Structure 1
Amino acid sequence: MAWDEPSRFLLLCCVAFTLFGVSQFVKSYNLRAKLAHIPTVGHPDWLSSYLTVFRYMRDPIGICQEGYTKFQGRPYKIPTMNGWQVVISDNTMIDEFRKFPDEMLSIREGVEHFLHFSYTVSPDLLRNPYHIGVVRNALTRNIPACYADLYDEITMAVKDQIPLETDWVEVYAFRIIVDILARSSNRILVGYPLCRNTDYLDLAKAFANTVIKNARSLHMFPEILHPIVGQIFSARRRSLRRIMKHLKPILEERIQMHNKYGKDWPEKPNDYLSWLLDDPHAQDWQRFSMPDLSMRMLHANFASIHTTSTFTHILYQLAAHPDLLQPLRVEKYGWTKVAMKEMHFMDSFMKEASRLTGISLSLLAVSCTNFSFSDGTTVPAGTVICLGSFSTHHDEEIYPSSEKFEPSRFLDKRAREGEGHRHGMAVPATDWLLFGSGRHACPGRFFAVTALKTLLAHIILNYDVKMKDDGGVPPSTVFAGNVAPNVTAKVMFRKREM
């Protein structure tokens, strides 16, 4: 019997589905056998575990809290759409986790596992991630020098996005925060005037979203098909061509000046792009490579724009507690990096808002070798390990009345002798995991906190803020295991009444 095209297509689909099922079964069976000694939340068997997978997609916090309560600090594993993950929440284990060398525990492999960077961004960024050192060192070191530009862009962006009216105006909070932070962060990334270019900013915002969406699509396919489907479900080449149209003339001019004068030349911009060009850790083929530099700029936008979620949580708490506007306003303000650092009550308010409504898990890593924690728990090579952020942040022994919003919680902790610095929002600890932990904590956290604090300070000094009908914090959005702020909620603003 002759096969027509629809029949052949159907046959191919059946074969592909069968191969996918078999490969997933073999992979899951082998890994589950290696992790059998670690207790499971939900169903432990291969087929029934998918019931827990679907539950995790809808209720990641509930799954993590169940494991945290049931196993009382011991590691536990959960099944997810992209495999088994081992969750640790015990302070001692987190302290050990942050000290493990890269040869034992790879954050780079964790990023690849979760976001498939080789396909969604670029494999070159993982092979030589010298941009991380640029963020950790050059960016952090230059925050005071660049602060005036950051503040200038924040004030202009807020003015354009939030009307300064005497009557209350409703705005979609998440949307305007994305626009404000994309524009203000790019003032430090590429400088003026490109930081205000509409097409460039639209690209930066779109790329940040497509990386996550494309990674989710790849999770649906077995690894053997990633080289094929990775090309289909990736917009990186299109995004790269688009950003290079904006960056090419800027890069050509800077490279020309660098070749003529060296690293120091007249009126050289002090921004992330210049720091990338100056960094000695770029390989020979990467140095002055427009595609490579452009892709690292896209990655920087991906990282910076995702601080939007953190600030949205903070703004919702402020709007739900307008009585805190005045206490926040009485802190001594001055538009410098040093002044921002001294705003301890604001720092406490922001950190508490992030603690209460933040992420469920953080800092994924993959074990490179077999090793054991001090309690005897063995972890085989290839295991995905993550930190139970939400459970730690809601532990009653660590944070009494953990479900209550206490804006001065960390201000009070600062008052204790010898703990003035430890409780800052940008300072990672075994009980504060928003930015990860240890050597692998978010390298841009000091810049992120400075930018968010400056934005919040500017808003509270110029606006009154509240939720409509004196409502509370909008419920978070949960999708595919991720907990994010409500993206459709509105916040009301008006010109501050003196």
Structure 2
Amino acid sequence: MGLLQFSASQAARLQHVPFHYGIALLLALTYGLYRMVLPKKKHNLPVFKLRDNNVLAVLTEAYQKYPTSPFMLELPGMEMAVLPPADVDTIRGLPESVVSIKKHHYDVFLGEYTYMGTKSDEFDSAMRNVLTRNTPAVLESFTEEVEYAISNTIGPCQDWTPVSARKAMCRVASLMSGRAFVGLSLSREPDWVEANVNYTADVSKAWMILKMIPQPVRFFVAPFLPQVRSLKRQRKNNEAKLAPLLEKKQGSSPALAYEEKPVGGNLLDWFISQYKTTPTVQELGRDQLLATFASIYNLSNALTYIVFDLAATPEEDVEEMRKELMEVLGEDGVIDKNSLAKLKKLDSFAKESQRLCPPSLVNIPRIVTSPEGLKTSTGDVLPTGTRMTIMSHFINHDPKVYPDPETFDPFRFSRLREVPGNETKYQHASTGLDNINFGHGIWACPGRFFASAQIKVVLAHLLMNYDVKLRKGTGKPGQIHYGLAILPDAQAEIMFRSRK
């Protein structure tokens, strides 16, 4: 009888299940039976299913068989079409009405609780236009905060001291991004820092549970999950913290605008400037949470990889970067927009770290929204509603693009920039058919210049103030593949010593 078999003992156990959970379970079972008889979207692509919880092995097998054509990948709670690199050109300029990144983000990142993928024109405008134009102000907030952030996470290490790299870099990312977003003193409040560090973790935990539950049933189940309740509390707490800031800005007289104040907090002003009327604290809270999720999660991971790579880099290459810093910055060591562009070796180091340790095995995720579907470069048509992405892992490891691709070569990209005509190419924040780690096209990551600047400010500070090495008897910490996501080893410790 299988699914319909139900014993008296099982019925007795259900008496102890809370009523609302019972209703949710019944809805899930009903919807599950409905899905069993519901016709699936039609496609003619080969299907590869997850085995032994090893997504990379399945992707490798699929790519070896179909290197230039799409295939379907089935994961728990998710099915998607994985397109070959040639289709980067196919989708790079397509609007939301054909393929939607917002719809993907809303579904994957629990938009009903996190705002991801929701309509937020003011946020989009601030990130894509105002933030990019105001790099000097952002850089100033980073350089003002980096010493405080690192000294309060790594601290003075008179002798070799083990440091949890992931934990330290989470706090560094939160402090530095917070300084740019909301300014002092809120950005340094322990409760604010801790909440922002935990926020992205709660999103990930909630998604791992909810992705296993059919979409129509989530509405009934989600409110009872501790992780979802935590996200709701975070929204309320953020709004309560931001309310006094908004009130102060609204009540400021023109004369106060010229008073000397601590550097930072510009992003909140830029958000406000994009509204036609005075924004509510709920709207600003949404914008701040969107910025937090977009920055802290990926930034903290990227900074952790930077620390891992720095610890494993030969001393002569480390000294090359220190030499570049001294030549470009001089004794004061202050980074501004002009000097940042001259730090080509640091930029190359950051780009190489991202090449081997990107956020995901795939990128440029979309959901097909056109009623006619999407025609790929091979002529295959993906029906509307199909989740799709691009195979980025094999771009990053393509020996035709990157000689000796498995080797970390810190100056791979700075050497390429020495070739006449390449002076402005191969930069950390640039995108292209050979590099989609920040996306590509009209929906490339709008905060990539913000992220790149922060990474290089942190790297420069570490180089000039610390010696860094691996723990004795250990190799460079590895990656953890969590589904399609690539995560740094959160348990790994790196040795730090203050430079005399």
Larger mean Cα displacement after TM superposition, 5-14 or 59-68: 5-14
Cα distance in structure 1, aligned partners of 2:286 and 2:347: 33
Aligned to 1:329: 322
1:30 equivalenced with 2:40 (yes/no): yes
Cα distance in structure 1, aligned partners of 2:348 and 2:28: 51
Aligned to 1:399: 402
Structure 1 pair 160–265 and aligned structure 2 pair: CA distance change class (3 A): closer
Aligned length: 470
| 1:84-95 matches, cutoff 5 A | 84-90=79-85, 92-95=86-89
1:96 equivalenced with 2:111 (yes/no): no
Instruction: Kindly indicate whether the alpha-carbon contact (under 8 Å) linking 1:320 and 1:470 is maintained by their aligned counterparts in 2.
Output: no
Q: Deviations over 1:41-76 (max 9, x none)?
A: 24xxxxxxxxx2x54xx3222222222222122111
Structure 1 pair 274–13 and aligned structure 2 pair: CA distance change class (3 A): closer
1:252 equivalenced with 2:244 (yes/no): no
1:419 Cα deviation after fit: 2.1
1:191 equivalenced with 2:198 (yes/no): no
1:212 Cα deviation after fit: 1.5
Q: Select 1:173's aligned residue among 153, 158, 165.
A: 165
| Paired letter, 1:466 | K
Q: Select 2:48's aligned residue among 41, 44, 48.
A: 41
TM-score (norm: length of structure 1): 0.88
Instruction: Kindly indicate whether the alpha-carbon contact (under 8 Å) linking 2:163 and 2:495 is maintained by their aligned counterparts in 1.
Output: yes
Q: What is the SS of the residue equivalent to 1:391? A: helix
Instruction: Kindly indicate whether the alpha-carbon contact (under 8 Å) linking 2:181 and 2:265 is maintained by their aligned counterparts in 1.
Output: no
Cα distance in structure 2, aligned partners of 1:470 and 1:464: 18
Cα distance in structure 2, aligned partners of 1:204 and 1:165: 26
Aligned to 1:48: none
1:15 Cα deviation after fit: 4.2
Aligned to 1:227: 219
1:454 Cα deviation after fit: 0.5
Structure 1 pair 8–253 and aligned structure 2 pair: CA distance change class (3 A): same
Aligned to 1:149: 141
1:122 Cα deviation after fit: 3.0
Structure 1 pair 26–216 and aligned structure 2 pair: CA distance change class (3 A): farther
Instruction: Kindly indicate whether the alpha-carbon contact (under 8 Å) linking 1:110 and 1:384 is maintained by their aligned counterparts in 2.
Output: yes
1:113 Cα deviation after fit: 2.4
| Paired letter, 1:347 | D
Cα distance in structure 2, aligned partners of 1:183 and 1:477: 25
Q: What is the SS of the residue equivalent to 2:497? A: strand
Cα distance in structure 1, aligned partners of 2:13 and 2:58: 42
Cα distance in structure 1, aligned partners of 2:26 and 2:243: 46
Structure 1 pair 24–318 and aligned structure 2 pair: CA distance change class (3 A): farther
Aligned to 1:21: 32
Aligned to 2:388: 385
Q: Select 2:289's aligned residue among 298, 306, 315.
A: 298
Aligned to 2:361: 360
Cα distance in structure 1, aligned partners of 2:120 and 2:465: 44
Q: Deviations over 1:164-201 (max 9, x none)?
A: 33310111000011111100111110011111110111
Q: Select 1:477's aligned residue among 476, 480, 483.
A: 480
Cα distance in structure 2, aligned partners of 1:403 and 1:23: 47
Q: Select 2:489's aligned residue among 486, 489, 494.
A: 486
Q: What is the SS of the residue equivalent to 2:72? A: strand
1:481 Cα deviation after fit: 3.6
| 1:47-62 matches, cutoff 5 A | 52=50, 55=52, 58-62=53-57
Cα distance in structure 2, aligned partners of 1:320 and 1:211: 32
Q: What is the SS of the residue equivalent to 1:423? A: coil
Structure 1 pair 243–18 and aligned structure 2 pair: CA distance change class (3 A): closer
1:322 Cα deviation after fit: 4.0
1:239 Cα deviation after fit: 0.8
1:80 Cα deviation after fit: 1.6
Aligned to 1:376: 379
Instruction: Kindly indicate whether the alpha-carbon contact (under 8 Å) linking 1:360 and 1:390 is maintained by their aligned counterparts in 2.
Output: yes
Instruction: Kindly indicate whether the alpha-carbon contact (under 8 Å) linking 2:72 and 2:82 is maintained by their aligned counterparts in 1.
Output: yes
1:228 Cα deviation after fit: 1.6
Q: What is the SS of the residue equivalent to 1:77? A: strand
Structure 1 pair 83–23 and aligned structure 2 pair: CA distance change class (3 A): farther
Q: Select 2:436's aligned residue among 425, 433, 438.
A: 433
Cα distance in structure 2, aligned partners of 1:371 and 1:315: 41
Larger mean Cα displacement after TM superposition, 218-227 or 175-184: 218-227
Instruction: Kindly indicate whether the alpha-carbon contact (under 8 Å) linking 2:67 and 2:84 is maintained by their aligned counterparts in 1.
Output: no
1:159 equivalenced with 2:151 (yes/no): yes
Structure 1 pair 157–128 and aligned structure 2 pair: CA distance change class (3 A): closer
Q: What is the SS of the residue equivalent to 2:258? A: coil
1:12 Cα deviation after fit: 6.2
Q: What is the SS of the residue equivalent to 1:30? A: coil
Cα distance in structure 1, aligned partners of 2:217 and 2:93: 35
Identity of aligned residues (%): 26
Cα distance in structure 2, aligned partners of 1:117 and 1:14: 23
Q: Deviations over 1:344-389 (max 9, x none)?
A: 1111111112111322112311011112123312111111111212
Larger mean Cα displacement after TM superposition, 357-366 or 451-460: 357-366
Instruction: Kindly indicate whether the alpha-carbon contact (under 8 Å) linking 2:126 and 2:270 is maintained by their aligned counterparts in 1.
Output: yes
Cα distance in structure 1, aligned partners of 2:314 and 2:156: 17
Q: Deviations over 1:203-252 (max 9, x none)?
A: 11111211121122211211111222232331332112212232111111
Q: Deviations over 1:146-170 (max 9, x none)?
A: 3222111011111122233331011
Cα distance in structure 1, aligned partners of 2:399 and 2:138: 40
Instruction: Kindly indicate whether the alpha-carbon contact (under 8 Å) linking 2:179 and 2:265 is maintained by their aligned counterparts in 1.
Output: no
| Paired letter, 1:361 | V
Q: What is the SS of the residue equivalent to 2:472? A: helix
Cα distance in structure 2, aligned partners of 1:100 and 1:479: 29
Which ranges in structure 2 are unaligned for 5 or more consecutive residues? 1-7, 330-334
Structure 1 pair 101–288 and aligned structure 2 pair: CA distance change class (3 A): closer
| Paired letter, 2:48 | V
TM-score (norm: length of structure 2): 0.88
Q: What is the SS of the residue equivalent to 1:41? A: strand
| 1:205-216 matches, cutoff 5 A | 205-216=197-208
Which ranges in structure 1 are unaligned for 5 or more consecutive residues? 43-51
Q: Select 1:419's aligned residue among 416, 419, 422.
A: 422
Cα distance in structure 2, aligned partners of 1:329 and 1:13: 59
Cα distance in structure 1, aligned partners of 2:99 and 2:37: 24
